[in-house]
A = this chain, B = another copy of it.
Amino acid sequence: MNRNRLLELLASVERGTLRAEDACESLANLPFEDIGHARIDHHRVLRSGLPEVIYAAGKSPAQTAEIFTRMAAAGSDVLATRVDEPTVVAVLAAVPQATHHPQARAISFRQTKTTAQGHIAVICAGTSDLSVAEEAAVTAELFGTKVTRLYDVGVAGIHRLLAVREQLNDAHAVIVCAGMEGALPSVVGGLVGVPVIAVPTSVGYGVSFQGAAALLGMLNSCSPNVTVVNIDNGFGAAYTATLIARASDPQ
């Protein structure tokens, strides 16, 4: 049932061709959620204005390319994450104007002209965390957020972090990607007054347990402004950071 059908039903009541009791019965038994459908379905998208994103892992190159093309044709900004080499080839063949971000393992296509809104910082410790950090950065940029990258900052050389403190202070939210012991978000959380979103990365060996050790470290953080997302989930961190940055920088 959509709005038109609902209007029609109510008009029948108005015209006297349908009794109130019968209309009531119909309404009670029809899938009213369908009205809600549109509202619910697009609720989040409509409020945040954030484009849909394609998670390419587990999709065939052809599937990803087809969805990407359809969304591009609809005039949306498009982002595909976790793209492997064959997927890159397939998508760029279909939408040659799209941009490949190798480090982020992502492909984006920007066609709307929105002004940047909000500002986040993305921090990571070493070269091994770069792909996750870049997934976050590229996602946030496609969403229209200004991103400051601070990428050579680890807890075992604490001065490097202190040296970028001023830059941290400008951000509306900070994303911290870290593997191994996952200690960086706690230290960053102590330096800034905004939400810190911690992303454990699957970097490490032995008892890093593919990021689980870093995850535990982050959930146990003694800094109260730290929240956490799944291992390697740079996209999710960028999504929430963008919501915060936009709310902090209304236009």
A interface residue numbers (CB < 8 A to B):
1-3, 6-7, 10-11, 13-14, 16, 19-21, 23-24, 27-28, 30-41, 43-44, 46-48, 53, 57-59, 63, 125, 127-128, 154-163, 165-166, 172, 180-183, 186-187, 189-195, 197, 200, 202-233, 235-237, 239-240, 243-244, 247-248, 250
7 A-B pairs besides A2-B34, A206-B215 with CB distance below 8 A are A33-B36, A43-B192, A181-B221, A219-B230, A220-B230, A226-B240, A227-B237
Given A183-B186, A247-B248, the answer on whether A203 and B58 have CB atoms closer than 8 Å is yes
List chain B residues, Cβ under 8 A from A192. Answer: 43-44, 47
Most chain-B Cβ atoms within 10 A of its Cβ — which of A57, A205, A219? A219
User: Which 10 pairs, one residue from A and one from B, show the smallest C-beta to C-beta distance?
Assistant: A47-B193, A183-B183, A206-B231, A33-B162, A227-B227, A156-B190, A10-B20, A247-B248, A213-B216, A224-B239
| A172 CB contacts on chain B under 8 angstroms | 247
Q: Which of B20, B32, B187, B230 contacts A32 (CB 8 A)?
A: B32
Instruction: Establish whether residues A231 and B217, one from each chain, have CB atoms under 8 Å apart when the complex forms.
Output: no
A38 / chain B contacts, CB cutoff of 8 Å: 2-3
Is A220 in contact with B207, judged by CB distance below 8 angstroms? yes
* Chain B residues whose C-beta falls within 8 Å of the C-beta of A158 in the assembled complex: 33, 40, 158, 161-162, 187, 190-191
Complex Cα distance, B191 from A44, in Å, reads 7
Contact partner of A224 among B183, B206, B214, B240, CB < 8 A?
B240
Query: B40 near A159 (CB under 8 angstroms)?
Result: yes
**Which residue of chain B has its CB nearest to the CB of A210?**
B206
Q: List 29 A-B contacts (CB under 8 A).
A: A1-B34, A1-B35, A2-B38, A7-B20, A10-B20, A10-B24, A13-B13, A36-B162, A41-B159, A44-B190, A48-B225, A53-B224, A58-B127, A156-B221, A172-B247, A181-B181, A181-B217, A182-B217, A183-B217, A195-B244, A207-B220, A207-B230, A213-B220, A224-B235, A224-B240, A225-B239, A226-B240, A227-B227, A250-B250
**A193-B46, A212-B207, A232-B205 given as contacts; is B20 within 8 A of A14 (CB)?**
yes
CB contacts (< 8 Å) of A27 on chain B: these are 6, 10, 27, 32, 35
